[in-house]
Chains A and B, each alone.
Chain A
Amino acid sequence: MKRESMNRAIEERFLASLGMTVGMGAAFVLLTIAACAAPSARAQVTPQRLLDSAREPQNWLMYSGDYPGRRFSALEQINTSNAGMLVPKWAYQTMAGGKFETTPLVVDGVLYGTGQDNRAFALDARSGRPIWQYQRALPADIRPCCGRANRGLAILGDKVFLGTLDAHVIALDAKTGSVVWDVTAVEYRKGYSITLAPLAIKNLVIIGVSGGEYGIRGFIDAYDAGTGERKWRFYTVPGPGEPGHETWEGDSWKIGGAPAWITGTYDPATNTTFWTTGNPSPSNRGEGRAGDNLYSNSLLALDPETGKLKWYFQFSKHDDHDYDATQVPVMVDQGDRHLILQANRNGFFYLIDRSNGKLVFANPFARVTWSDSKDASGVPLARKDASPTLEGNRVCPGAAGATNWMSPTYDPQTQLFYVTAREQCDVFSTAPQAYEAGHAYYGSAYFPNDDAAPFTGALRAIDPNTGKMKWEWKHPSPTWAGVLSTAGGLVFTGDAEGNFIALEAASGKALWHFQCGASVYSSPMSFAIDGKQYVAVAAGSALFTFALP
């Protein structure tokens, strides 16, 4: 009430300055809204807008673009006939070192992104000019395993949400960047951090943690978007008395890992959110944690309102090669088949029935030597002699995987699944060590197997019906760039050599490229303002946008 009367006072003062009264004000407000309605009615992002994201293809409302996680843009202004004419429009420099992994959001003309060391920013998406900038004051003793990176934000209402390297979850005011709430998800000194973009469902912000290199116990959390109050926590390593607990030897579950560090997807039809998990700890030594180690390296189907597990599917049982399953689980419907597609870090492409978690099939999409058999249901099983040894054991894919966190895309027009494949094998060796809270806990070392050099990469187009490759675009070396598909018949990706590339989605023919000047460690997206389509990608310390001249 107090706030309303204050607003009223401000309004009166403002109208008075224009020589108007409150009575006349109503008409003025209407006029103002009409003037703003096109192109950018800067309304709140309601849960309904997130559900209906397909109705506003000019915006990019969540990390993967839509709830199914397809990273597909319905914009078609940039297409196969004109992609060759793309030009850079603007760049935004964070001026920070390290990997710049963000996928920005765009809502009604404002672009929201994150940078290294928990920077966040809002830009005029037309010009790249900043509206606000935020950087968290991080403690000096954080030690995130794999770079001081962050992959992006979620947006809901008038807030954007950020997970931090010191394992906090933060809500920022979308208009000012002010901290609205800040909650500690968990004690970072135990080795936890957060790098992923959260997922907003209804009034909840759902987020997981990193820390599989530190012997953490992974979990997925849901927070009330308005208050930051934690609504539920799902431990990805079951505790005593819970199903799956028996898959851990002794007390190994307490430090079992299974972090959830890539954004999930959501099926409103069944009210199910799908999340994936990473390696059991220690990542490269199975001794001391005998068993399947649930729910490491798994796909989890959770009720978003309660965090209750509906079903799970484990990709790599009792993993000792660091084959995190943290790749976006992409939802695709084929007639009455409701599927999840995942090209997994372990080198297999999996098709899973998302109504029950049953495997349809698994086919390799890259070189695989860790597995040479499948169980009765077709799930690939590890070779007995594939484990790390003291003197070193050569295994493909290497620890960085046949793919990794960089997003794949599903194009509903070509009905193909596109994924960044890495062809790199490693020598895995054991380095037994005792667990110490907050200290690195690999139990192993790995390094590239020079006998398998040169290491290469490729963008591969996979037919989900068969798991077979339709075409590939070869990268000179393995890359960490994700993939975007668009209704213009295009796929966009980047490479380690710094190119951002547009390819014909049907054939893999390159139509355009731009040299960004540094390796691309991000997944691209697309948006439109004033009827003009842009494609954006982060590389080096810059966010680049491209459009037709």
Chain B
Amino acid sequence: MLGAGAAAAVALRAQDKNPFAGDAKAAKLGESQFRANCAFCHGLGARGGGRGPDLSRAQKHHGNSDADLFRTINEGVPGTAMPPNGATQQGVGMTEEEIWQVISYIRSVQVKAPAQPAGNAAHGKELFYGSAACSTCHMIQGKGGRLGPDLSTTGSARSTDYLVESMRSPSRRLAQGISEAMKEFSQEYETVTVVTADGTKFLGVVLNEDHFTLQMMDTREQLHLFEKDKLRSLEKSRESLMPAYDQKTLSDKDLEDVIAYLLAVGAQ
């Protein structure tokens, strides 16, 4: 029996096409698996959360064929927070059959055609490096500032809703920074103000910290590595250093253009 099972599993994997393609029942089973194993980052409806990309988009950064999706789910994506199947602490490992069911579910919520970018990406780029001044703090493909997260892949890794929220109310959910292996929660882009023993004050973002030490970048992009007990004071805030871009600073149209730029870059 074991031998037969293993052979069947190999057969499932060997095929590049989902054996349950278009099977509504499989999609329903896949939804349960998705909620238990994937929704933690990708949101309940697969439309992305604060942590993972919107999977209802037709375009996917790590490939959109059945075989690509299977590989991404089963093996994870190195260098990202996407773990191999079964390696999360929240979910259990899925069988290959269950992975195909999840793929059926993703197909069932996926929009039919690649969305035509609503905005003007070229204008978005101008805003990014120009009047909107995003590049003061954010880098894209090696160009820009260092204080905020690198946005080269953010367009592919986050839902549009999340991108809008990040610009309109950046303190609502702070962006995530370093993710350490085995550490449950990633460091967030918290704001920190320290005063050293000699009275020097630094304002910046937390790159990482533990109970005893702090690693930060100040607003002039200088790294500072502190032992907390040697500081005169240390104050953290969840009020992001990123200014909230309201309608006056960035119209809905311009916001759409910046997002179109982020999506265009992310798709590369």
Contacts and interface: CB of A to CB of B under 8 A. Distances in A.
B211 A445 contact: no
Contacts of B93: 143-144
Interface in B61-117: 86-87, 89-95, 98
B54 interface: no
A519 B183 contact: yes
* Max chain A Cβ within 10 angstroms of own Cβ: one of B36, B94, B212: B36
A521 B209 CA distance: 19
Given A445-B35, A518-B181, A521-B182, A440 B209 contact: no
Contacts of B29: 433
A355 to B, nearest CB: 38
Contact of A478 (B2, B185, B188, B209): B185
Nearest to B172: A450
B32 A513 contact: no
B182 A429 contact: no
B211 A495 contact: yes
A454 interface: yes
B232 interface: no
A495 B185 CA distance: 12
Contact of A431 (B36, B49, B190): B36
Interface residues of B, number: 41
Contacts of A497: 183, 209-211
Interface string A301-341: 00000000000000000000000000000000000000000
Interface string A252-294: 0000000000000000000000000000000000000000000
Interface in A221-274: none
B20 interface: no
A157 interface: no
Given A455-B185, A497-B211, A501-B211, A440 B36 contact: yes
Contacts of A510: 211
A501 B211 CA distance: 10
Interface string A122-154: 000000000000000001110111110000000
B49 A447 contact: yes
Interface in A469-517: 474-478, 480, 495-499, 501, 510, 513, 515
B173 interface: yes
Interface residues of A, number: 49
B116 to A, nearest CB: 30
Interface in A414-431: 429, 431
A447 B183 contact: no
Interface in A28-68: none
B35 A444 contact: yes
Nearest to B50: A450
B11 interface: no
Given A433-B32, A445-B36, A501-B211, A496 B183 contact: yes
A164 to B, nearest CB: 17
B161 interface: no
Contacts of A499: 210-212
A475 B181 contact: no
A477 B212 contact: no
A513 B212 contact: yes
Contacts of A431: 31-32, 35-36
Interface in B27-57: 29, 31-33, 35-37, 39-41, 44, 49-50
Interface string B197-235: 000000000000111100000000000000000000000
A439 B95 contact: yes
Contacts of A446: 90
A246 B168 CA distance: 55
B141 to A, nearest CB: 29
A440 B92 contact: yes
A144 B183 CA distance: 20
Contacts of A391: 44
Contacts of A513: 211-212
Nearest to B41: A447
A391 B32 CA distance: 14
B180 interface: yes
A103 B218 CA distance: 42
A412 interface: no
A146 B212 CA distance: 30
Contacts of B41: 447
B40 A447 contact: yes
Contact of A476 (B2, B91, B211): B211
A429 B183 contact: no
A432 interface: yes
A150 B125 CA distance: 52
B180 A519 contact: yes
Given A146-B89, A433-B29, A540 B182 contact: yes
B176 to A, nearest CB: 11
B182 A444 contact: no
Interface in B218-266: 238
Contacts of B211: 474-476, 495, 497, 499, 501, 510, 513
Nearest to A191: B92
Contacts of A519: 180, 182-184
Nearest to A519: B182
A99 B182 contact: yes
B182 to A, nearest CB: 4
Given A431-B32, A518-B181, A141 B5 contact: yes
A476 B92 contact: no
B6 interface: yes
Interface of A: 98-99, 139-141, 143-147, 213-214, 391-392, 429, 431-433, 439-440, 442, 444-448, 450, 453-455, 474-478, 480, 495-499, 501, 510, 513, 515, 518-519, 521, 540
Which 7 residue pairs spanning A and B have beta carbons closest together?
A: A497-B210, A445-B35, A431-B35, A433-B32, A143-B93, A440-B92, A447-B40
Given A144-B93, A146-B92, A440-B33, 10 more contacts: A431-B32, A433-B32, A439-B95, A444-B35, A445-B36, A447-B41, A450-B173, A454-B188, A455-B185, A476-B210
8 contacts: A141-B95, A143-B86, A213-B92, A445-B36, A447-B39, A476-B211, A496-B185, A521-B182
